Each structure stands twice: as C-alpha cells, then as structure tokens.
Chain A
Amino acid sequence: MTDLIHGVYTEGEKIADTKAPKVPVAGMWEKRKMDAALVNPANRRKLSVIIVGTGLAGGAAAATLGEAGYHVKSFCYQDSPRRAHSIAAQGGINAAKNYKEDGDSVYRLFYDTVKGGDYRSRETNVYRLAEVSANIIDQCVAQGVPFAREYGGLLDNRSFGGVQVSRTFYARGQTGQQLLIGAYQALERQVAAGTVEMFTRHEMLELIVEDGRARGIIARDLVTGEIQTHLADAVVLASGGYGNVFFLSTNAMGSNVTANWRAHRKGAYFGNPCYTQIHPTCIPVSGDHQSKLTLMSESLRNDGRIWVPKKREDCEKDPRTIPEADRDYYLERIYPAFGNLVPRDIASRQAKNMCDEGRGVGPMVGDFRRGVYLDFADAIKRLGQKAVEEKYGNLFDMYARITGENPYETPMRIYPAVHYTMGGLWVDYDLQSTIPGLFVTGEANFSDHGANRLGASALMQGLADGYFVLPNTIRDYLAKGPFPKVSEDAPAVVEARTAVEERTKRLLAIKGERSVDSFHKELGNIMWEYCGMERTEAGLLKAIDLIRGLRAEFWRNVKILGSADTLNQSLEKAGRVADFLELGELMCIDALHRAESCGGHFRAESQTEDGEALRHDDQFLYVAAWEFGDGESDPNQPGSTMGAPVLHKEDLVYEAIELKQRSYK
C-alpha cells in the first residue's frame, strides 16, 4: 500500500482476474454456463438465497431462482415488491432482435454500449449483456408484457440516444412499469408456490460475513421496528442506485445506498463511485420546496428539438415570439450527425454550457436560469397533434400537471438532473463481489455501462442480470453448498446485530437541532456543486472537507423524534443519510483521482480545444475499485492512512473493440 495520495487515499494491489473464461467474447458466456457446476433439483430447496430489492434485477432473480426450486427470501423497503423504482423507467428496453432489418446485431449492440460508456466498461460483461438481450424480450412477451405493436400485430421498435438503429422495445412511456409488473407477477407466482418468502417493509441494515463468506443480513421490520437476523447460503444485492446522494434526483424518495454501503464496509469493493448519469430531459426545479425531480423519457428527443435563444435578451420572452433566425438549435449545430440524439452526457453538458453562457430560460434559480427549450412545434406540424399525442401523450400530461403549462402550445423547458449511477459494487464476470457469496446485480453493480449509460440499457441490464446471468453464475457457487450452518449466536452474527441496534440507539439519542432532511439537502448541494456535471481538483478537495464537517455535525446535531419500536420514517431516513454522508466523500475522492474526462465524469482540467471531454487512456484505462478504509481518520494526524480508502485498479482490456475517442459530430 502507498502513502496518502492527495492526502485522502492510498493505492493497493491491482485486481488480477475478473474470472471471465479465457476464450474470445463470442463464445465466452456459453463456456461459462457449460463450466458452471449443476445443482440436483432435489438439493435446491436445501439451498437458500437472500435477495435484497425487488426491482427488475432483484424481482427477476427471485422469480427465476424460485422457479428453479431454491429457497429464496426476498426483501424490499416498500409495501409491495411492485413499487421498486424500476417502475418509473419510461422509454424502453434495448434488444438485438434486428426486427427492423436495419443492420443491428449482437455485436453492434455490444459496440454501441461500450462506445456509449466512453470505453470505461468491461468488454466481457457487455458482450454477454448484448447476447442475452433478445431472450429478455421473448420472456417478457410470454409473461404478457404489453409492448407497443404495429397494426400487423408484431412488435414495434424505436430509436434512442447514441445509436443509429431502431432496437428499443417500449410500452408507451411506461416500459419500466410493464416490465416490472411482469417480474412482479412471476415473483408473486413463486410466493404462492412457496419457493419465495417475501418480506415487504423490511430494510437491510447490515451484512453478515462469517468465515469469509456472505451468509445473511440484519434487517429492520419497518412497521414494528423489530431487528431481525436472516441467514442463507448466499446473498444478492439488487438494491439499485445511489443518485439520492444528491438529494434532488429522479430516484424514488426511498432509494438509498445502505445495503451497498454496509456491504462495502464489510469488504466489498466499490467500483467507479463517481460515475453518475445526469439525464438531459428532466423538468426544471421550481423552488426550494422541491423534494424530487421528474424525468421525461429521452424518447422525446426523437421528435422534439432542443434550443435556446441566440441572444441573452430574448431569454425572458415568450418563446413562440422568437423568430427562427434568433434560435440556436445547439445540438443540431454542434453535432450534425446525431443532432438531438447525442448520448445523455453530451446533451446534459451542452445544456449546462448554454445556461452558464446566460442563455438559459425559465425562472431564475440562484444566479441564472436553469432551463432549455424542448420544442414540438415542428413535430406537430409534420405529424399532426394526434400522432404526437399517441406517442408522447402521457409525458405531455405529466409535464402539464407538474408545471401548469400546456406543452402542445408552448415549448417545454428541460434541465439535466441526476438520474442513474453507473458506479456500484465491484463484481467479477459472475457478478460476485469481493466477498465470496455476495452477488450484486442491476444498477447496484458497476459493470456494464462504463462512464455513461445509453438510453434503454438500464432495463436491459436489470433483466439480463436477473433472469439470465445471475441464476447461472450463482448456481456454480451454490453447488459448493450447503455451507456449514451458521448459528444466530455466532460472533459474526451477534456483532452485526449489535452494530445495528447500537447505531439505531445512537441516532435517537442525539436529540439535536436539525432535521434529517436539512442535512440531506446540504449534502446534495455540495455534491451537485462540486461533484455534478463539471468537476475540478480544487472543488473536489473543498467538497471532501465540507462533507467531513457536515458528517461530524450530523452525528452531533441531528434531531429524530419518535421511537425505534414503531414505524418511524425519520429514523429510516436518518440511517440512509448517514450512509450517503460517507458515500459522498468516496465519490469525491474517486472523481478527484480520475484526472480525465470520460462520459458522465467531466473534469474541467481535461478537455479539448473546443470544450469536448478529453480521455486519457494512457493513464486511466481501468476500473477504480475502492476498498473501505478501516478506522476513523484523525484530523490531528494528517499523514495517517487510517480511514483512507484504498484504490485497486482493474485494467480494462479491449480485444473485440478498437479503442477510440468518442465522436458524435
């Protein structure tokens, strides 16, 4: 291990092996499945798996493992597994079906995803994702997922940002909802069959690691407050992303990092924590009261045109009165090949640039206007209002409800918002973390999207992991079991349980002055300001200091009313914010160490002459996997490595794809 670098982290050994079979990517997944050990159907019910989260990745895995005959315990914090936040995904799901005969293939989907991720994802995993994508559509259709269809009765497709083929399957603007309901119904079918035990309104608060293996979780029953121990042969985290570290994001109110963070503290490496997706088409902030941001599907960019006034003095005018000649359709101008369909990171950053130049529109928020126009006037003229309504009606209605404006008459206003986190727990080819027996799927892991995720790829990854990848790889692990029975009195179990009880007690005993939300908002402001769309070394160092100060104040001054033995939403939030306050620092450290621009991570010090992101493959062609730094850092001992996270690099190797600087011009 090295000395402190930048005063905040150290570097350890490289990750030598991702456990991908040593054959060309095209045959890799077949080989892995063939090599994975089998479990006799009669033995499966003796093997138990805990799955945390019931979104696409968790729900699909629970249903599939239940069907196979394993004993599954499924957990969600919501009142029903059907509410997991996958439900809010709007636009669609990619699959290499090539139904449009427009040149699509597994290889092209793979290529687009790696390129879209700015060459920071792991080639082997992405190829597999593209390979199983077509099976997902078959599975969902068989479950009764009502995808959009053409008049002939066959499935329809549309195109999405960052690609030039139509491979996206969709169910109006509710694709995530329909896919999740499919997985949910499959899951409930297994609950009825007795293979899946369902624990709703339960939150995982600690991971149990016994004899070097993940063997269970400590969960809190959110209704009774009871702290419960659940043991199993393996644990799967499918607990989603951590965008709520920014307070304002398109995530659900309850989306959190706690399951992931607790596992990280127990030894699971955290991969690329700073890779955050800031989505370009969200409804702008309207005031201080704002509790969350609402995204509108980027499918709107298929027909809507994005612009700002050329002249600053026009920014306050009714947009309909601004003549064509005075409008700057900046994406079409800068990126003529892709126009309004450039990848999300680019669309977001250019919107920010326009607003920073003083050409933003809408109300002043802080010092400037944070909004650009998304205009459907041309589309309505070309296709007619009815056709536009049919395609985007629910999105237009949502916009009207939230803003009180009619988007059929006046251009919508949009602004980027935190939407998805590409980072997550580090996993190998089998989706296993650095803790044996702990698997991580969907948004909760880091593996498939590199530094930027393409539209309609999150649903694809969640379901690929849940239905097809994890059930095959975890089988190989479970075949080594059942592992020795762990007793509830085992030291590791007691320690985990006591830690949860103590932490709860400690939170309630602080009885300070400030609400949990006030800390969360302040953390969010720090993250957005210094670790948002544009990052600098000085800003990140400042943010790390600010977060440390805020975290100390939280543990001194947070005010949580009510008790631990009842439904207590403030207490739930406090535990989540406490973990965000630790994660935020790691995100800033990761962003600080990566002195290049790539995908969603734009470092101001690393750009081309015309302001585009500049990657440094010679220095940063790796995954940053962070090991939790044990101990408390002590401000009185500036050189001490206590509490400093340890960086482990996994070199990225591209054999099937040629490494290039991305260009969408």
Chain B
Amino acid sequence: MATSTKSDPKNMDLTLRIWRQDGPSDRGHLQTYEVSDISPDMSFLEMLDVLNEQLNAKGEEPIAFDSDCREGICGMCGLMISGHAHGPEKTTTCQLHMRSFKDGDTITVEPWRADAFPIIKDLVVDRSSFDRIIQAGGFISVNTGSAPEANAAPVPKQKADRAFQSAECIGCGACVAACPNASAMLFMGAKVTHLGELPQGQPERWARVVSMVSQHDHEGFGGCTNTGACSVACPKGIPQDVISTLNKDLRTAMRQGG
C-alpha cells in the first residue's frame, strides 16, 4: 500500500476492492483502488465521492452507486461492505462513517446480490420488485375524500407502537442481500404487520398477505429459513417477529380459502 502524508494523524489510507460492471450483460469484476488521507468524519459515500473525483481527474469513469437523502431514511443507498449489508454498523451505508474503519484496512464493496435485484451498472441494482410487492396489496384501499374523522377509531398504544415500528422499513433491500436465500420476508412482514396491527387495515388483511406472498415468490425471492440474518442487517432494526406475524396471517388466510 502506498504511504501518504496525512493532513491529520487520525486520517487513514485504505485499499478498496470495488465491483465494476459495465451493464447488465457484462460479467463484472473486482477492481482495486487506493485512497489516502481519509478523515474519520467522512461518511462512507463521501469517501467514494473522493475516489470518484480522483478517477474523473485521471480520465477513468467514476463508479456508479445509488444514494439520495444521505441521512438514512430514503433507502436508496445500499452496498455490501466486506460481506455485510450496509457495512459493520447497524445503519444505512450513507450513515456509516469512516471512523468505523482503521488505517490500512482493505474494504470490499459489492452491490446487493439477488436474482430479484438485477445489477444495472457497477453498484446499482434494480429493486422495482419491491414496488410490485406493494402493488400487490401493501396498502389500505381508501380514496381521497372518503376518510372518516381521524379520532373516530382509537388505536391502543401497544398496537400503534408495533405498527409504527414495522412502518419504519425504508425498503433498502438489505434484508434480501443478507439472506442466504435472498428472501424478502422481512420487508413483506414489516408491511403486513404495519397494516395488520391497525383497525384500518383489517378489511383487506387476509387478501393482502396472500397477494403479496404470491408476488414475492413470482419475483424470484427465496423462501425463509429463519436464519435471522435479515433482522441483523436491517438498518431500522425491524424485528424478526414480523415474519411470524406474516406466516400466522398467511395460515389464517389459507384456512379461510384466501
């Protein structure tokens, strides 16, 4: 590794092995890059910005990666960092900071890997399968203007809290990337639990779960074998028990001839 003069003794020199892939049909490969004088206060994506500026200056095309809000809420970013979805901390890639690494580290950066998330270019994948799962039933059917007064249906705090916790899902896909089966059960379980805990979600509860699971399987996501890797990787800490809720709802729905 090249040694550099650091502007601050806390700064780091790092070796990066980054997945480059020209397009969907390209085979792709890991390419090695060196970056130096990286501040621990930088976010991981700002470190990649620095690398991209260097590449641009050298005449090499910058690495394509997704990010938008960069504050951990939009769910657009998502990288496999040395084998961990979103890296070593429990947060999104954009909120991961370089103080989680140390001088001299080698970091491998790959896209999410799943049949249902085809690679578009470099580190960018297509997650539209998630949208199609929501289209299948991840909603409450209420047209604008037809809503009753908001306080007409009280919601017990415990149920409201669990609905909220499940609704925190940002749809980033880390659960799928972390799962050995590339299953999206945590993503789906979060939605089924969010809507199923609320009185407003009851009328469509059984049809919803059947329709969403069927779309999930159709998209090519794998089955759940309860490894729990999804919940560990989830930057929002969605608990694994939403999958139990989903399975329970699915069984009830099937018994009803859903």
Q: Quick one: CB contact mask for A395-420 with B, threshold 8 Å, 1 for yes?
A: 00010011110000000000000000
Q: Which residue of B lies closest to A401 (CB)?
A: B95
Q: Quick one: CB contact mask for B113-126 with A, threshold 8 Å, 1 for yes?
A: 00000001100101
A570 to B154 CA separation, bound complex (whole angstroms): 50
Residues in B whose Cβ lies below 8 Å from that of A253: 67-70
Residues in A whose Cβ lies below 8 Å from that of B168: 174, 177
Most buried by A among B46, B127, B163: B46
Is there an interface contact between B164 and A172, defined as CB atoms closer than 8 Å? yes
Is there an interface contact between B124 and A567, defined as CB atoms closer than 8 Å? yes
Residues in B whose Cβ lies below 8 Å from that of A181: 167
Is there an interface contact between B150 and A570, defined as CB atoms closer than 8 Å? no
Is there an interface contact between B200 and A83, defined as CB atoms closer than 8 Å? no
Given contacts A83-B68, A292-B70, A567-B124, contact A185 B140 (CB under 8 A): yes
Residues in A whose Cβ lies below 8 Å from that of B74: 78, 82-85, 87-88, 252
A539 within 8 A of B: no
CB contacts under 8 Å to B, within A435-477, are 467-468, 471
A138 within 8 A of B: yes
B141 within 8 A of A: yes
Chain B interface main SS type: loop
B179 within 8 A of A: no
A606 within 8 A of B: no
CB distance from B156 to the nearest CB of A (A): 5
A177 to B71 CA separation, bound complex (whole angstroms): 12
CB distance from A6 to the nearest CB of B (A): 37
A85 to B145 CA separation, bound complex (whole angstroms): 25
Is there an interface contact between A471 and B144, defined as CB atoms closer than 8 Å? yes
Stretch in B12-20, B58-66, B101-109 touching the partner: B58-66
Residues in A whose Cβ lies below 8 Å from that of B130: 80
Residues in A whose Cβ lies below 8 Å from that of B76: 78-79, 83
A341 to B68 CA separation, bound complex (whole angstroms): 30
B23 within 8 A of A: yes
Q: Which residue of A lies closest to B38 (CB)?
A: A289
Residues in B whose Cβ lies below 8 Å from that of A295: 71
Is there an interface contact between A287 and B39, defined as CB atoms closer than 8 Å? yes
A149 to B154 CA separation, bound complex (whole angstroms): 9
CB distance from B60 to the nearest CB of A (A): 7
A198 to B142 CA separation, bound complex (whole angstroms): 20
Is there an interface contact between A290 and B68, defined as CB atoms closer than 8 Å? no
A57 within 8 A of B: no
Q: Which residue of B lies closest to A134 (CB)?
A: B150
Q: Quick one: CB contact mask for B64-108 with A, threshold 8 Å, 1 for yes?
A: 101111111111100000000000010100010101000000000
A642 within 8 A of B: no
Residues in B whose Cβ lies below 8 Å from that of A83: 68-69, 74-76
B136 within 8 A of A: yes
Residues in A whose Cβ lies below 8 Å from that of B136: 192
A16 within 8 A of B: no
A84 to B74 CA separation, bound complex (whole angstroms): 7
Stretch in B48-56, B222-230, B238-246, B248-256 touching the partner: B48-56
Given contacts A141-B147, A174-B73, contact A291 B43 (CB under 8 A): yes
Is there an interface contact between A515 and B53, defined as CB atoms closer than 8 Å? yes
Is there an interface contact between B72 and A144, defined as CB atoms closer than 8 Å? no
A471 to B145 CA separation, bound complex (whole angstroms): 11
CB distance from A521 to the nearest CB of B (A): 11
CB distance from A106 to the nearest CB of B (A): 16
Is there an interface contact between A138 and B150, defined as CB atoms closer than 8 Å? yes
CB distance from A611 to the nearest CB of B (A): 33
Given contacts A289-B49, A404-B99, contact A79 B127 (CB under 8 A): yes
CB contacts under 8 Å to B, within A325-344, are none
CB contacts under 8 Å to A, within B189-228, are 194-195, 198, 200-201
What are 27 A-B interface contacts by the 8 Å CB criterion? A64-B144, A67-B143, A78-B74, A79-B126, A83-B68, A87-B69, A87-B73, A88-B74, A135-B145, A137-B150, A138-B150, A139-B142, A140-B150, A144-B163, A144-B167, A144-B200, A171-B167, A177-B168, A191-B135, A287-B41, A291-B49, A295-B71, A401-B89, A468-B144, A515-B53, A517-B49, A561-B56
**Interface set of A (CB-CB < 8 Å, partner B):** 60, 63-64, 67, 78-85, 87-88, 97, 99, 135, 137-144, 146, 148-155, 171-172, 174, 176-178, 181, 184-186, 188-189, 191-192, 198, 200, 223, 250, 252-254, 286-287, 289-292, 294-295, 398, 401-404, 467-468, 471, 515, 517-518, 559, 561-562, 566-567, 569-570
**Interface set of B (CB-CB < 8 Å, partner A):** 22-23, 39-43, 45-47, 49-50, 53, 56-57, 59-62, 64, 66-76, 89, 91, 95, 97, 99, 120-121, 124, 126-128, 130-131, 134-136, 138-151, 153-157, 160, 163-164, 167-168, 170-171, 194-195, 198, 200-201
